[in-house]
Amino acid sequence: MDNRKEFLTKEFSKRFQGKPEVWTRAPGRVDLMGSHTDYNLGYVMTMTIDRETWLAASPRADRVVNIYSVDMKSGAEFSLDDLKKDEKTPWVNYVRAVAKYSMEAGYKLKGFNAIVHSTVPFSAGLSSSAALEMAIAMTFQAVSGFEMDPVEMALIGQKAENHFIGVNSGILDQYSSAMGEAGKTILLDCRALRSSLVNISPELKIVICDTKAKRNLLGSEYDDRRKQCEAGVAILQKLDPKIESLRDVSFEDFDAAKDQMPDPVRKRCQFILEENQRVLDLAEPLSKNDGVRLKELFSSSYFGARDLFEIGAPAMEEMYQSMVNAPGVVAARQAGAGFGGCMVALVHPQKVDAFSASVIKEYKQRTDLDAEIYAVEASDGASII
């Protein structure tokens, strides 16, 4: 942490006058259960990780933001009075968008100079974009002198992605990054926007297994899944007009309507219903280290994601096999939106090194790709440092 501050202070001084006066951070996250349940207004078991996006900033007297990302090796300067999308440095659009929707919510923003640095891998399913948005929102609060409710901050981040960036994502990523708590996982109700904290047994380590496979199809495939879920809701609504989302659907409702559903729609709906139930079922075995039940829940989530929701990828299948064959594994599944990216395992704490070595070796043999494997701990939600 001290090293990181020292490094960022140097980077800051290279580009701006003086030293940073404001430090903010926001974590990435991983889902322990609940793929694609967020935009269906259901449940997710989500955990912040100790991979974080940091900003080192200093306030400005004018209404200009000048920001540089060490990771992207690019930056831009813009005025808070002129927040247009700019494709020259696309990542700065996340900053513009958070500014725009914070101002629309009535907050008075001041400008700043800042350096961004992240240890959340990009586009790997660990929500680097939400970590960036939440760190930016914290920085605006710190330099402008106001406090925002963390759930409102999450909603502003989601709006930024949905309406400015053009990604039709749910609330999961931003809510987790804003509301996470060290050492705990959160059971999030995506409709009520409420969460409760769940203990993870000390006998379990959360291990990220990055397939390093690019997620090319994600945009269109993601939108297709959303539309298929909506098509399912439309059919179910004929049965019961009170149904607004798959969240409202019981297994009995689904059984009564499924024969009217075209094949992909039926499979998508079945997965979401079962995945929601798995999220609710996970809290107890996770806190009690019930290995048999954890394995059941994680593997049925993975098979459902692969065969019913069809968000798998060849690299994910090879990774899954490598994970379940490794020593110390308790349970393994996908993470994030699927189509490559990261997966997640529960591993016995004393076996993490042996697990990692085995997965790296077997995955390399299977795919010729170099996986990246690391244990993570839940960290606190976005904050001023």
Instruction: Look at phi and psi of residue 166 and say left if phi exceeds 0, alpha if psi is from -120 to 50, else beta.
Output: left
Two structure tokens written together for 86 = 């700019």
Measured from the CB of residue 74, what is the shortest distance to ligand ADP in angstroms? 8
Residue 122 vs 251, nearer CB to ligand ADP: 122
From the list ligand ADP, Mg ion, none, partner contacted by residue 75 (C-beta under 5 to 8 A by kind):
none
Binding site partner of 125, from ligand ADP, Mg ion, none, Cβ cut-off 5-8 A by kind: ligand ADP
Nearer Cβ to ligand ADP (218/326): 218
> Could you say which of Mg ion, ligand ADP, none residue 123 binds, taking C-beta under 5 to 8 angstroms by partner kind?
ligand ADP
> Which of 215, 247 has the CB closer to ligand ADP?
215
Angle at 169 between CA 369 and CA 336, to 5 degrees: 30
The dihedrals phi and psi of 90, each to the nearest 5 degrees, come to: -55, -35
Q: Taking the CA of residue 76 as centre, how many other CA atoms within 13 Å lie in the half-sphere pointing to its CB? A: 18
Is 82 marked active-site?
A: no
Subset of residues 114 to 143 that bind Mg ion, contact rule: CB under 5 A: 129
In the complex, minimum distance from the CB of residue 214 to ligand ADP, in angstroms, rounded to a whole number: 11
Least distance to Mg ion from the beta carbon of 173, Å? Answer: 6
Residues that bind ligand ADP (CB under 6 A): 53, 69, 71-72, 90-91, 94, 116, 118, 122-129, 132
Q: Is 46 in the site for Mg ion (CB under 5 A)?
A: no
Picked from Mg ion, ligand ADP, none, the partner binding residue 20 (CB below 5 to 8 A depending on kind) is none
The total number of residues written for the chain in this structure:
385
- Here's the x/- map for Mg ion, 82-121, by CB under 5 A: it reads as ----------------------------------------
Q: CA 33 to CA 45: how far, in whole Å?
A: 5
The minimum distance between CB 38 and ligand ADP, in angstroms, equals 13
Binder of residue 320, out of ligand ADP, Mg ion, none (CB less than 5 to 8 A by kind): none
Q: What residues contact 80, with CB distance under 8 A and at least 6 apart? A: 63, 64, 65, 99, 103, 109, 111
Q: Which does 363 bind (CB under 5 to 8 A by kind): ligand ADP, Mg ion, none?
A: none
> Shortest distance, CB of residue 372 to ligand ADP, whole angstroms?
14
Judged by beta carbon, residue 216 or residue 250, the one nearer ligand ADP is 216
Parallel, antiparallel, or unpaired for β 184-189 and 194-199? antiparallel
CA distance 376 to 373: 10
Q: Which does 302 bind (CB under 5 to 8 A by kind): ligand ADP, Mg ion, none?
A: none
Q: Tell me the closest approach of the beta carbon of residue 319 to ligand ADP, in angstroms.
A: 17
- Of 62, 173, 248, 368, which one is the catalytic site residue? 173
Closest distance of CB 54 from ligand ADP, Å: 9
Task: Report the interface residues with Mg ion, using CB under 5 A.
Answer: 129
Q: Catalytic residue numbers?
A: 173
